[in-house]
Every structure is written in C-alpha cells, then in structure tokens.
C-alpha cells in the first residue's frame, strides 16, 4: 500500500498542499479528483520524489520512501513527453532498461504492450510521426513497460477517443488485477465513476473526501430516500418531520424519518421500492469542493 500522510507544499507564499493524506491500496484503481489548480499534479510529483515536500511523508509498504528505497513507479506526467525523434519500439525498450529491466524482458514487454495498445504497426516509426492519440498510447506503454510496483498517472484519459479509452482501460485494469496500486487523476467524472474503486477528492490543496466509491456515495447520501408505492404517495408529506423534495404520483423523494414513512406506507398497502438516494460522483464533487 502506498500511504500519503500530512504532505504540505508551498511555492513562495502560496500554499499549494495542506496536510494531504490518503492511501492507494494494492489491486485497486484510485481516482484522484480535483478542479484545475487544486494540487493534483503537485501531489503526484511529491509522491514520485520529483518534487520535495515541505512536511509529511510518503510510505510504501510501511516504510518511508527515500531515494534509495523508492518503489518502482510507472509514471505518466501531465505534460506528455517522450523523445520525438526516437523510434517507438526503441524508446519503450530503452525506458524499461533504464528502470533496470534486462534486455530480453524489456524487448518482450515492449512487444506485448504495443500489441495490447494496438501500436504494433507503428513500432518502427518515430514518435513525432504518430497522431496525438497514438502518442498518448505510447506514453501509457512507457509508464507500464517495466512492470512497475505502483502506477501514478496524471490525466491518462485526456485526449483519447472513447475506443482508445477502452483499450487503455483494459490494460490498466489488468495491472490493477495483478495487485498493483493505481493512482490516476482526472477531471472526467464519468470515467472515474465507472472505473475507480477508491476516490480521493482534493480542493484548494486539502483532501475533502476520501474512501471507496460506494462508501463515499453512501456517506454523502445523507437522509435522502425514495419510496414508490401502489397508489398516490401524497400522504408522505403529512408524516411528522418529513420534508418532501420531489413528489410524482406513486413516487416520493424525501428527507428524514425514513422508518416512520416506511411503516405508514406498509400500513396503507404494498411498497414497490424503498431506497436511500445515492448521489453521483458529480454531485458529491460539487458538494465537497
């Protein structure tokens, strides 16, 4: 598990991160959400050791991360970049070897990844000859080729068409299934909603929500319920302490006193459904930041 505890960082007088803490658990996809300028990239850079923290610590498997015991990171920076004039295959293999992978494994991993990312046909081309979408896939390959211990991906899906998103998603899920913790930032909430197991939401340098996706939704569900009965549900508004939010024939959305409402409903006849209303990530996001 990768643990971030109490990380702070300032640029000049501007405090960018304030006591940031969260976990990235093995085998899970953790979505890192935040508006532009909220501190996502700074956090990721600190986790990678590219930037120093002004306080706090990052730990891997319980031990504080230092330059000599860093886990092997797979990193995809926000500002994409590889060598424009280097051939795709050479470039990926070289990066794997720079991570300490031996030549044969590096070559094998490269071929497998290029195959998975549907880039085999472009392997001999120079990076600059590829379309931006394909360059993005090469960038993913660069982050994965050395079988990293931890994946840190800054906006891995931006700039990809829906089909490419699926391709990349498959590749990432495979890694997560093998027990690799994956932290990825995004501002595309729909993707995160569909994809991540855990969610960390950052706003103005502070963590404002943090937990598994289901957990978070339940926690932010509040006292809001939806009931559907046989007949008109207009009577719900007469139950003491209840606030009606929405009323539409047999369906009512209300806050507070759920048990009383349910009992009254059962007294009146059949209850078709009774559920706490779970907010979407989008709603939670807007609520917490």
Partner 1 sequence: MARASFSQATWLVAEREMKTLVGTKGFWIGFLFTVVGLFALTVLPTVFGGDDPKVAVVGSASQAVQGKALDVREVGSVQEAADLVRADDVEAAIVPDGAGIKVLALNDPPNSVIRQLVESPPVELLDASAVTSGQRSVTVIVFGLVFLMFGMGGAAIAQSTVTEKQTRIVEILVSTVPVRALLAGKILGHTILTLGQVVVLALAAPIALRVAGLGELLGVVAPALGWFIPFLMFGFVLISSMWAVAGALVSRQEDLGSTMGLVMIAVMGPYFGVQFFYENPAVLKVMSFVPFTAGVAMPVRLFAQQAAAWEALLSLAILAVTVVAILLVASRLYTGSLLQTGGRVKLSKAWAPAE
Which of 41-79 are b and which e, b meaning 16 or more Cβ less than 10 Å from the residue's Cβ? bbbbbbbbeeeebeebebebeeeebeeeeebebbbbbee
Structure tokens at 178: 């093998």
96/172 with CB nearer partner 1:
96
CB atoms within 10 A of CB 86: 15
Q: Which of the ranges 29-37, 70-78, 193-201, 270-278 carries the binding residues for partner 1, by CB under 8 A?
A: 70-78
Instruction: Tell me if residue 259 falls in helix, strand or coil.
Output: helix
82/288 with CB nearer partner 1:
82
Minimal distance, residue 101 CB to partner 1, in Å:
6
Asked if residue 240 binds partner 1 (CB under 8 A), the reply is: no
27/49 with CB nearer partner 1:
49
Which residue in the set 1, 35, 51, 57 belongs to the binding site for partner 1 (CB under 8 A)?
51
Query: Which phi and psi (to 5°) does residue 148 adopt?
Result: -65, 160
Which residue in the set 33, 34, 46, 75 belongs to the binding site for partner 1 (CB under 8 A)?
75
* Closest C-alpha to 147, from 179, 117, 192, 118: 179
Eight-state DSSP code of residue 44: H
105/120 with CB nearer partner 1:
105
Which of 194-229 are b and which e, b meaning 16 or more Cβ less than 10 Å from the residue's Cβ? ebbebbbbbbebbbbbbbbbeebbeebeeebbbbbb
Minimal distance, residue 32 CB to partner 1, in Å:
17
Give the whole-angstrom CA distance, residue 140 versus residue 160: 12
Q: What is the residue-wise DSSP string for 51-107? A: S--SEEEEEETTEE--TTS---EEEE-SS----TTSBHHHHHHHHHHHTT--HHHHH
Minimal distance, residue 42 CB to partner 1, in Å:
12
Do 198 and 214 form a contact (C-beta atoms < 8 A)?
no
Binding residues for partner 1, how many (CB under 8 A)?
Answer: 32
Binding-residue pattern over the window 145 to 164 for partner 1, x denoting contact by CB under 8 A: -x--x---------------
Give the whole-angstrom CA distance, residue 141 versus residue 112: 10
Asked if residue 95 binds partner 1 (CB under 8 A), the reply is: yes
Q: Which of the ranges 80-88, 172-180, 183-191, 260-268 carries the binding residues for partner 1, by CB under 8 A?
A: 80-88
88/227 with CB nearer partner 1:
88
Do 236 and 260 form a contact (C-beta atoms < 8 A)?
no
Binding-residue pattern over the window 112 to 151 for partner 1, x denoting contact by CB under 8 A: ------------------------------x---x--x--
First to last CA, the chain: 27
Which residue in the set 5, 15, 99, 206 belongs to the binding site for partner 1 (CB under 8 A)?
99
Asked if residue 97 binds partner 1 (CB under 8 A), the reply is: yes
Residues 6-45 that bind partner 1 (CB under 8 A): 45
139/186 with CB nearer partner 1:
139
Asked if residue 86 binds partner 1 (CB under 8 A), the reply is: yes
Residues that bind partner 1 (CB under 8 A): 45, 48-52, 54, 67, 71-73, 75, 77, 79-86, 94-95, 97-102, 142, 146, 149
């Amino acid at each position: 598990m990768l643990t971030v505890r109490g990380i702070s960082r300032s640029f000049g007088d501007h405090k960018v991160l304030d006591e940031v803490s969260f976990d990235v658990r093995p085998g899970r996809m953790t979505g890192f959400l935040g508006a532009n300028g909220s501190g996502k990239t700074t956090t990721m850079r600190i986790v990678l050791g590219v930037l120093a923290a002004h306080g706090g610590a990052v730990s891997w498997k319980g031990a504080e991360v230092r330059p000599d015991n860093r886990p092997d990171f797979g990193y995809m920076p926000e500002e994409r970049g590889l060598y424009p004039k280097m051939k795709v295959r050479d470039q990926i293999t070289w990066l794997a070897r720079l991570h300490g992978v031996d030549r044969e494994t590096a070559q094998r991993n490269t071929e497998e990844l290029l195959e998975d990312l549907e880039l085999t046909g472009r392997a001999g081309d120079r990076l600059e000859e590829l379309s931006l979408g394909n360059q993005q896939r090469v960038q993913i390959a660069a982050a994965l080729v050395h079988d990293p211990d931890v994946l840190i991906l800054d906006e891995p899906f931006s700039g990809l068409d829906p089909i490419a998103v699926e391709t990349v998603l498959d590749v990432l899920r495979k890694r997560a299934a093998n027990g690799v913790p994956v932290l990825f930032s995004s501002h595309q909430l729909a993707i995160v909603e569909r994809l991540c197991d855990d969610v960390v939401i950052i706003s103005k340098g502070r963590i404002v929500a943090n937990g598994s996706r289901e957990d978070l939704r339940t926690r932010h569900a509040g006292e809001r319920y939806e009931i559907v009965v046989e007949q008109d549900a207009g009577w719900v508004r007469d139950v003491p302490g209840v606030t009606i939010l929405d009323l539409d024939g047999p369906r009512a959305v209300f806050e507070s006193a759920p048990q009383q409402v349910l009992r009254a409903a059962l007294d009146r006849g059949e209850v078709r459904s009774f559920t706490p209303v779970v907010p979407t990530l989008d709603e939670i996001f807007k609520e917490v930041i």
